[in-house]
Amino acid sequence: MEVPHICAGEDFLSLVGVADMLRMSGAFFMRRSFRDDPLYKAIFTSYVEFLCKEKMIMEFFIEGTRSRTNKMMTPKFGILQMMNNCFYEK
């Protein structure tokens, strides 16, 4: 069974040992916002497009963060939009 590429938040990088374990299991990390860095956005988008075109399995959580009250969070559609653009642009 193929192990999915996990899209994890950048805050996991600060957890000692966890970041290395996630990386070894196929995780890649993303920032909460791409607004201030167009180069980062271009590179991250290219990587997601590469994974899509190679038909790699990706895992991500659309709510973007964990709720402390166990309520559903407002979904964030950024990575879904990147994946959608990969298949429906030109």
* pTM, entire model: 0.75
Length of the chain: 90
What are the residues whose beta carbons fall under 8 Å from the beta carbon of 57, sequence distance 6 or more? 2, 3, 4, 5
* pLDDT tens, position by position, 59-78: 887 776 667 787 777 877 88
- The string of pLDDT tens digits covering residues 6-49 is 888 888 888 888 888 888 888 888 888 888 889 999 999 899 99
The pLDDT, as a whole number, for residue 88 is 78
pLDDT at 81: 85
